[in-house]
Structure 1
Amino acid sequence: MWRKSSHSDNGGDGNCVEVALTSSTALVRDSKNHAATITAPSWAAFVKAVKRDELGQV
């Protein structure tokens, strides 16, 4: 099941990021590109870095 980011734009210009999790992968897509497949450990490391604010301004 795809889950939409709470930070995605709801203003109608189509800026949207969604993720679907399985037991072994995370599928990530935005409103303009096809989904990318990421391994579960890589996704977990990414989420951890975001929560710790280790990525800075992207």
Structure 2
Amino acid sequence: MGLGKERISFIGYDDDNCAVDYDIPIDGKWTDLTAQFTFKRHPSGLYVALLEGLSVLK
């Protein structure tokens, strides 16, 4: 059985950087576990992905 639709949110900033929150499934079920990433533009033009943290809503 499929998980359904992914849950992901993007926040864009004026400096070409962005933040992404991605809900993580566990054992095939969606949970309140969320990974927070920041994507920062490197002078080379590529992006560096930083895992800022994992959180669980209560």
TM-score range, shorter chain: 0.3 to 0.5
TM-score normalised by length of structure 1: 0.43
Rg larger for: 2
Structure having the larger proportion of residues in helix: 1
Normalising by structure 2, report the TM-score.
0.43
Looking at secondary structure, tell me which structure has more strand per residue.
2
